[in-house]
């Protein structure tokens, strides 16, 4: 079912009676399965007795993206193209910025359908396309369980304020999406897009930032996303509540890169977990809290707070207390190069940084510690935020995501409360190396990352 709340028309153009196809502009939801925007477009095409064309425009300058993230995305798009072809749908992947790619393909479209993105750049693209096309642009929200504006019409203060609002709608929105067969396929249309068979060769040709290299630790695409999800549900979910925070273990689902590129649907993941009864209620609840409440709080933040990537996005108490303590003496101060090369005095922090650089994914608990220490070891909070965002967005496969902006802001007080005041942090929550030692076998984590380096598992080919 596609709830009306997922659907918004972004301009006031009349549908074109003489249009010769419906165009699905794939942007954030880069998948064939469980994609409300795609299904909506198929149903519109069938209703109008028209074929459906799908287009994806690749900008080579997506803010902070680099060879690592492009490789993962292209691997996913290659698979999506094949999956759509099996459904009779042509996906044309064009090497031009999305706004131009859509403008160039929409000239004979009856309507254009697009998925929803929450970041500034994604919203601007939709606004521009809405102005430029001569037909309706309809946005269908598919990368959240509960549509963000349905959950709340305003920026929420914290998880505890948004949680009941999301839960009020869960039963209604946690319903599977049925696939509709496309009646008039588009595979006979000449494909003017990129050949995706050889991602490595394609990437060589592209003029993308090379600031981070390709990693082997995670392969892009829906098949790998589903394989990881199956493993998680079979082998890890039953201990998720207790073990997920322990960085020396791996009880995580690793869904974040796949969710970031829309290669798997959060609704599908949520339904699989909800029905995994063997895993126990507390584990299923803990997972759904992260996947739905925490993740959708991040989207709420990025949609409603125009300053999601600066200190101005923090609550007043956090900004004030950080400002008051900006001049406090710091025991250690590092520059960008020392952070990037994991050359701090702290072996736990260095291990976390290396894990991110080598595998493209730092353990979730270590991300909190990592961000807190950047605050502690930079000259002031503005620099801390800049360093954290730059490293996170450069090396994490799930970087440049609403979750990243919310996670880094959380390290500086967002979505949290005031704690006992101390040097540098002010009233912002503090984390310590001794806390890691108390809670976990943190040396085992360091050894695990050292072994990773020794075996050189994650390669770098671009």
Among 212, 408, 412, 442, binds ligand FAD (CB under 6 A): 408
Q: In what order do the strands lie in the sheet with 7-9?
A: 7-9, 137-140, 109-115, 21-25, 52-57, 90-94
Quick one: which segment of 67-75, 179-187, 366-374, 441-449 binds ligand FAD (CB under 6 A)? 366-374
Nearer Cβ to ligand FAD, position 24 or 440? 440
Nearer Cβ to ligand FAD, position 138 or 293? 293
In whole angstroms, the minimum distance from the beta carbon of 135 to ligand FAD comes to 34
Nearer Cβ to ligand FAD, position 158 or 368? 368
Among 80, 213, 256, 359, binds ligand FAD (CB under 6 A): 256
Nearer Cβ to ligand FAD, position 38 or 255? 255
Quick one: which segment of 92-100, 106-114, 185-193, 407-415 binds ligand FAD (CB under 6 A)? 407-415
Distances (CA, A) of 177 to 2, 24, 35, 101: 7, 17, 8, 28
Rounded CA-CA distance 389/182 in Å is 42
Q: Does 407 bind ligand FAD (CB under 6 A)?
A: yes
Q: Does 264 bind ligand FAD (CB under 6 A)?
A: no
Strands 137-140 and 21-25: unpaired
Q: Does 364 bind ligand FAD (CB under 6 A)?
A: yes
- Which of 239, 173, 202, 196 minimizes the C-alpha distance to 1? 173
Find the helix or strand (DSSP H, E) in which 418 lies.
none
| Residue 352: alpha-carbon gap to chain centroid | 20
Q: Which residue has the tokens 């009941």?
A: 164
Q: Does 403 bind ligand FAD (CB under 6 A)?
A: yes
**What number of chain residues touch ligand FAD (CB under 6 A)?**
28
In whole angstroms, the minimum distance from the beta carbon of 21 to ligand FAD comes to 34
Quick one: which segment of 16-24, 45-53, 336-344, 363-371 binds ligand FAD (CB under 6 A)? 363-371
Distances (CA, A) of 358 to 16, 142, 186: 50, 31, 41
Among 411, 424, 436, 442, binds ligand FAD (CB under 6 A): 411
Nearer Cβ to ligand FAD, position 72 or 410? 410
Among 39, 238, 398, 416, binds ligand FAD (CB under 6 A): 398
CA gyration radius for the chain? 22
Q: Does 244 bind ligand FAD (CB under 6 A)?
A: yes
Strands 109-115 and 21-25: parallel
- Which of 278, 229, 326 minimizes the C-alpha distance to 33? 229
In whole angstroms, the minimum distance from the beta carbon of 372 to ligand FAD comes to 8
Interaction with ligand FAD in 282-311: which residues (CB under 6 A)? 290-291, 294-295, 298
Distances (CA, A) of 92 to 85, 190, 217, 307: 11, 9, 28, 34
Q: Does 392 bind ligand FAD (CB under 6 A)?
A: yes
Among 368, 383, 433, 452, binds ligand FAD (CB under 6 A): 368
Distances (CA, A) of 18 to 21, 46, 74, 103: 9, 15, 34, 17
Among 48, 81, 94, 254, binds ligand FAD (CB under 6 A): 254
Quick one: which segment of 35-43, 212-220, 253-261, 316-324 binds ligand FAD (CB under 6 A)? 253-261
Rounded CA-CA distance 54/119 in Å is 22
Nearer Cβ to ligand FAD, position 21 or 349? 349
Nearer Cβ to ligand FAD, position 31 or 367? 367
Rounded CA-CA distance 393/310 in Å is 14
Quick one: which segment of 48-56, 333-341, 361-369, 445-453 binds ligand FAD (CB under 6 A)? 361-369
Contacts (Cβ under 8 Å, ≥6 apart) of 174: 145, 267, 270, 271, 274
Mind giving me the DSSP string for 32-46?
SSS-HHHHHHHHHHH
Q: Does 255 bind ligand FAD (CB under 6 A)?
A: yes
CB atoms near residue 226 (< 10 Å): 17
Quick one: which segment of 7-15, 122-130, 256-264, 319-327 binds ligand FAD (CB under 6 A)? 256-264
Q: Does 259 bind ligand FAD (CB under 6 A)?
A: yes
Which structure tokens are listed for 290? 């992260």
Binding residues for ligand FAD (CB under 6 A): 244, 252-256, 259-260, 290-291, 294-295, 298, 364, 367-368, 371, 392, 396, 398-399, 401, 403-404, 407-408, 410-411
């Amino acid at each position: 079912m596609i709830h009306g709340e997922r659907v918004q028309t972004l301009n006031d153009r009349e549908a074109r009676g003489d249009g010769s196809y419906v165009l699905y502009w794939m942007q954030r939801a880069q998948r064939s399965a469980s994609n409300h925007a795609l299904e909506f477009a198929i149903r519109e095409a069938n209703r109008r007795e028209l074929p459906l064309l799908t287009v994806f425009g690749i900008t080579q300058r997506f803010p902070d993206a680099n060879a690592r993230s492009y490789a993962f995305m292209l691997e996913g798009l290659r698979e999506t193209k094949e999956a759509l072809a099996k459904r009779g749908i042509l996906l044309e992947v064009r090497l031009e910025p999305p706004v131009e790619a859509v403008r160039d393909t929409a000239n004979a479209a009856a309507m254009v359908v697009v998925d929803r993105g929450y970041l500034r750049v994604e919203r601007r693209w939709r606004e521009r396309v809405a102005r430029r096309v001569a037909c309706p642009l309809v946005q269908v929200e598919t990368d959240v369980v509960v549509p963000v504006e349905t959950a709340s019409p305003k920026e929420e203060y914290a998880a505890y304020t948004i949680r009941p609002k999301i839960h009020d709608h869960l039963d209604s929105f946690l319903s599977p999406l049925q696939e509709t067969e496309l009646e008039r396929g588009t595979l006979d249309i000449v494909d003017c897009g990129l050949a995706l068979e050889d991602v490595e060769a394609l990437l060589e040709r592209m003029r993308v930032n090379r600031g981070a290299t390709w990693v082997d630790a995670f392969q892009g695409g829906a098949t790998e996303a589903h394989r990881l999800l199956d493993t998680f549900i079979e082998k890890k979910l039953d201990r998720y509540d207790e073990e997920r925070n322990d960085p020396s273990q791996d009880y995580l689902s690793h869904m974040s890169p796949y969710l970031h590129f829309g290669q798997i649907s959060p609704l599908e993941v949520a339904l699989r977990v909800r029905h995994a009864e063997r895993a126990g209620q507390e584990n299923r609840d803990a997972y759904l809290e992260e996947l739905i409440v925490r993740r959708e709080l991040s989207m709420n933040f990025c949609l409603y707070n125009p300053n999601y990537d600066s200190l101005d996005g923090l609550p007043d108490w956090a900004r004030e207390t950080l400002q008051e303590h900006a001049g406090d003496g710091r025991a250690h101060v590092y520059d960008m190069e020392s952070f990037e090369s994991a050359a701090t005095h702290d072996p736990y922090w260095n291990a976390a940084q290396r894990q991110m650089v080598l595998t493209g994914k730092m353990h979730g608990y270590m991300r909190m510690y990592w961000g807190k220490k950047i605050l502690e070891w930079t000259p002031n909070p503005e620099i801390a935020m800049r360093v954290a965002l730059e490293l996170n967005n450069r090396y994490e496969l799930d970087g440049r995501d609403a979750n990243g902006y919310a996670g880094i802001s959380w390290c500086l007080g967002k979505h949290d409360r005031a704690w006992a005041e101390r040097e540098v942090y002010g009233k912002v929550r503090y984390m310590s190396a001794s806390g890691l030692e108390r809670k976990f076998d943190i040396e085992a984590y360091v050894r695990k990352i050292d072994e990773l380096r020794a075996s050189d598992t994650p390669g770098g080919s671009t």
